Structures are given as C-alpha cells and as structure tokens.
Structure 1
C-alpha cells in the first residue's frame, strides 16, 4: 500500500472511531494529497512579485490608503474577505476592512465588461474587525465582525441601500458565512480555538431579520443541529450554551457548493467538508496527513465558477493560494513573493470565472496600511 492510500485509510479509520465521522462514497478519497497542479508549475515572479502558472497575468487594482485609479475613493487598510457580484455586463468586487475600534467596514470596486474600474465606494463603516463573510443568493454581502460579541452586517454591494445589522445571526467572534439555498440556511464559522460551527435558519428565506441560530453537536458519532438558547451570547458565549457542541480549532473560510459546505480551521490546517444532505462531516485536507503539504496557514476559501476546483488562501505559509481539485490533488496555484509578514485574503472569481481577485492584507510593508488588492487573469478551466 502506497503512502497516499495508507493516509486515506487512516482517515477513514479515525473518522469512524476517534472522530465519529460517517464516511460517504464521495468522501472516500479524502483527504487531498500533494500532486501536480492542472495548470502546471509556477513561473518566475512577475513585475508584481507574483508567481503564476504559464499563461496567467496579474495586476494591482488597489492599494490601502491610496486613491483607486479613476475614482475619488481611498482604498481601505487591512483588506480581508471578499466576493464578486454580477452588475449588468460588468461586476463588483467587495472587500472587508479588518480594522479595530470602529475603523472597519466594507468597500466596493465596480468594473465594466472589459475589466476597467469605473467606480469605488464604501458600503459599510464604523464596525470592528470585519474579517470574512459570504455572498447571498439575493445579491447582498454578509460582512462578519471577528471580535468577541461581534455581529453580522448585511450590506449592499451596489451601494443603494444602507447596511443592516443582523442580530438574530448571533453575537460571537464571527469569521465567514456561506448560504445553502437548498436547505435555506446560512453556515457560520467562529474564530476561536474551541469554536463551533453554526447555521442560521431565517424565518423567511431572503430576509435575515429574524430566525433561529443553531450549533452543530456530536454525540455517539451522530451529528445534530441544536438551537442556541441565547444568540446574544451574554453572559454565556454561544459556543458554550449547548451540550456536546462539536469543537473546531479556529474556524476561518466557508464556501457552499452542490450540497457540501467546505470550511477551514487554521489551528490544525484543515479543510472540512460537511455533506448537508447526508449530515456527515469529513476532513477534505489536513497538512499532517499529506506528504510534503503545499498548503499551510489555511484561511479563506472559494471555488471556481464551473469546474469544481477549490482555492484556499494562506495566512502565512508560503503566501500561496492553493488549488484542491475534484480528484483530491492539492497544489500551489500562485505565490506572492517578498511579503512574508502578510496574509492572503478575499479570493473570489468574477461571474465569468476568468478573473480571480484577492488581497495581501499587509503587503510588502507588513503594516495594515500597506494592503494590496490584485486581479489575476488567465485560462481558468471551464
């Protein structure tokens, strides 16, 4: 038995016994293993200091504390989570500002059909440590405060409507959100060393003004969703209110597709796959179970438009965005050089799937005022 099959067998065994997971046919291949990227090896760094596969190019679209070209808007410091939204023949990219003490918020970049920036503007301000978030099917951006007692804010990427605080979604150290339109719920991660994995069930799908916050529990190897008695989290934190709450070491990015919610935990460098239909949980990637792991500092996660690849950004590591393919190969897709004191945030594809946006939160300076937001264009596979 080769190392790849041995590692997979070990995860199946520990999943059934030590971790209490139920394996599904689709997950037998997990966890992903090191292999060649479908895009080939990384080339030498370009003029922006980014190593990319052959055929791909990068450009800088915004820099923290500087005016966005062609607009009057000054780009925010510490750019973090982000997402893209269709806007006629163009699109909009939104980006959080992970700044403390009421200096956080969200800004937006508007592009026309050729990719030229036509506008930039603020859609949320006065909040604290807006880290990651998630897009909704009704074209709003959920911006999450990564602070004790933090809120989720629903914002309008188009800049027409004021942001709304969604208190029913709970107060805790929010990280990311992912909408599941099939079950009409929203999954939420928590950035605590003993954090939980939540879902919010709106009273009416499409209206987040009221609903039920639930937490994932595990008892006797069975997973269940249990209502959190006090979503306000005071005096008892939401993660400590329900018996048998399933613990996760530093919840980070969250991404839903085709019945599965993929989410990451930075404390153990894992990517998890929650099969919502089967109510099962498996480890899709674990750097300690992967030979010569290219992906460490696991953080934000997104997926391409149509092929099924996952893209996971690193907080630290080699400053890479790594790809995890549907056949469970993990490999670097890009690497930012000369910015070892930063982290990669906010990966998101435009609606056509041929442009990838992301930020280096602290850029070359290592300071929140040195953030750089990029676009990568190239032959992404359809």
Structure 2
C-alpha cells in the first residue's frame, strides 16, 4: 500500500485541524495491520457516464469546463496540462480557482499560458497559472491568464492571506542551453511565484528568490507565524522552511533553512526509521539561496540537514505539518512524515508517521484534499485506470470518480468555500470539473 507515491496535501483551510488528516491515515494503517478489509463502498458503485468523461456514484453530477483550447475571457486559449489548484471565496457567492499548468518549453503542441511580453517571466517558457471565476450554480463566469513564462508549474499551495504560491519543478538555466534546443530558457528557473486570488490579469512575474532556487514541489504556511514550509522533489531533496521578514509579504525576503535531525547529522530518511517515534530537530541556515547551479540541497546536507527522498505534498492543520516522501520506505512505496514546530520556532519534532511497505492499495496517489466532512480524497496518477479515491475517517478506501476518457491523471482537487462542490482536473486533455451531490459524513 502506498499512501503517498506522489502526493500533494492541499491546505483545506486554516481552521481545519491536523487530527482530521491523521485519523484516516492512522486508521487505514491499523486496519491493514490487523488484516481487515480496507475497501469500502463509500457512496456506492460508480455509474458509467453516457458522455464518456467522468464516472460518479448515483446522485452525483458534474459540470465540465475550461478545456484545453477553449477560448478564455481574455481572448487566449485555455493552456494545457491542468495541475495543482486551490479554491478561494469570491464576491457574491462565487469561487475563485487559481490553477497551475505543468508545461515545459518543448510542449509546443499544447496551448501555452499567453501574456504580453512584459508579463512573461521567460518568453521561452510556456507554463504558469490561469484564474477561473465560478458562479454559485457552478457556471464558469470568467477565466484568464494570471502568471506566464514559467517552467513546469506542478504544485504549490494556498496562503492564509488569499494567494496561490505556484512552484516551478525545474531548475534549468541558460548555461544548459543547446543550439536550437526546444528546452532552452532565457532565465534561471526553480523559483516560487505568488498569484493573488484577487488578480484580474497576469501578475508581474516576480520570482521569490529568497525562498530558494531548487526543484520546488509544494508549500504550506503556518498561519500563526507566517513561516512557509517547502518540499523538494528530488531523491536527495531536503525539507525547508522560509522565515519571512514580514509575515504575509514574501517579496520582502527572509531566511531559508533546512531541517536537521538533532544528533543525527546527514540522516538519510528513506529507510531504517521507526514509525511513530518523534525526534528532536534543529534548522541549518542556507546561505546561498540563489546559486547558479542547483546546489541548495548540497549546502544544506553538508551542514547536516536530513534527506527526504522525493518530497512532494505538504499539508497544515492544527499546528502540525504532514509531508510526503513519495518513494521512501523499504519497498519504495512512500512515507508520510509529521513535523510539529515548538513554541520557540527554533526546533520541534519530526516523526515517520506512515510507511506501509506493502502491495499498493492505490495506484500512484497524487494530490490529496480534506473534505469538509472529514474524508481524504486522493487523485491517482499511476498506470492504467485513474480514480479519485476517498478514505473515510474509519480508514476505508472507496472509489469516488473514474477518468472515463483515458489514463491521464487527476490533479488539483479542492472544495468550494461552502463545501458543496469539489473541483478537480484531468491533466490531459485538460478539463476542470465541478462535482456535487449527496455528500455525507461516514460513521462507524
């Protein structure tokens, strides 16, 4: 069972408590350890969609919109490769979606994120974000480009002050260019970019350099302190925190640090760590946050920081952070780690929360979101059929939605502010769905 082969824990809201996430994962693991069935019926058998798009349980409906190539309100085509996404409250009961597009420079057959030249970070790159305004009846009111000229915008995370941090999952530089290569770039990449949910046009693409130049995956913000925690999608990646000079103003700069397990310098956490044993931590400062070469993790490790194999999703709740090592564990099926900061902000504890090391019960879980009723919803990104899978607080797995088009991944699952609608993407051909129906709380 792989709780997290490629997970993205999405911030469900500052009021969501950490135990909501912890309970389903703990119970799922405990049920399997006891030899009990972990498969449940959830909302019931999925019904074949006559339109061949999305199979759902009885009583659930969907609306599909913002498909790749559709014309947006700004007169530009919807870009391809829909990925990470978050939902924010808008005016008059609307929902604002800010959505990543994981496009590389050489993906020339798919529409790119278009903007005027001065609003593109790198005119050779095709990625970025789009913003969608969705009405109370789940109708698309408006959509437009909101960040342009970036490279492989895969995940990121929402902030408590109402913005989306879009992360570049690539560290290309002009020094890597080859004559005539489709992957050439004109600027350094590997940065975070901030997109306010209130933006009405492409933002000025300002890289948040002080947060580090590395293979960013996802972020989560501690609303009590404004500290931003960051994962790095590399086999030898580190776990970082960014302490801003001015909480809520990331452009003002700050300090970048990497986690070190106390009395265990240069720990390799992929294997041979006990589950459920908190370990004291300290933090080492990264001095060269913007190296020309991709060496932020090299500096941190040399100073004793711990390696986490392919850090991906991260989620915050009730003063705790959960993040994924996507191929960690003896069987390389994934780990979930829990970091709990202390009141001094200088230390805290880290513990290996889940490491199943058993046959997959899920096929490449990716984005994860907490529903308002306490279930986890997991977007699959594996081989063959792709599902959105639910996990009840009692630890039962159930299929909630199936991609009836092809074998492309689900991504960007999130809930509207009123909790009545799930939004989710199918990456290719690139479609956003609004899903609603008889949501309910599962009990014992």
Q: Same fold (TM over 0.5)?
A: yes
1:285–1:113 CA distance, 2 compared to 1 (3 A): farther
Cα displacement (A) at 1:28: 6.3
Greater per-residue strand proportion: 1
Cα displacement (A) at 1:280: 2.8
Cα displacement (A) at 1:355: 1.1
Determine the structure 1 residue equivalent to 2:283.
Answer: 225
CA distance in 2, matches of 1:187, 1:319: 29
CA distance in 2, matches of 1:359, 1:253: 17
- Alignment of structure 1 residues 1-382 onto 2, 5 Å: 29=27, 31=29, 33=32, 35-37=38-40, 39-46=42-49, 47-68=51-72, 72-88=75-91, 89-101=93-105, 102-148=125-171, 149-160=189-200, 162-209=204-251, 210-218=253-261, 219-220=263-264, 221-235=279-293, 237-242=295-300, 243-267=303-327, 268-270=332-334, 272-277=336-341, 279-284=349-354, 286=356, 288-289=357-358, 293-304=360-371, 306-317=372-383, 318-340=385-407, 342-362=408-428, 370-381=429-440
Determine the structure 2 residue equivalent to 1:5.
Answer: none
Gaps of 5+ in 2: 1-21, 106-124, 172-188, 265-278, 342-347
Contact 1:179 1:256 in 2 (8 A): yes
Show CA shifts across 1:217-238 (max 9, x none): 2244533332222211444611
CA distance in 1, matches of 2:62, 2:376: 20
Cα displacement (A) at 1:155: 0.9
CA distance in 1, matches of 2:144, 2:423: 17
CA distance in 2, matches of 1:95, 1:56: 23
RMSD over aligned Cα, in angstroms? 2.6
Determine the structure 2 residue equivalent to 1:6.
Answer: none
Gaps of 5+ in 1: 1-24, 363-369
1:49–1:272 CA distance, 2 compared to 1 (3 A): same
Contact 1:30 1:284 in 2 (8 A): no
CA distance in 1, matches of 2:425, 2:292: 34
Show CA shifts across 1:139-159 (max 9, x none): 111000000241000012232
1:217–1:65 CA distance, 2 compared to 1 (3 A): same
With a CA cutoff of 8 Å and minimum separation of 6, indicate the structure with the bigger relative contact order: 2
1:279–1:326 CA distance, 2 compared to 1 (3 A): farther
Show CA shifts across 1:55-112 (max 9, x none): 22222112112225x7744211111111011002111111111111310010011012
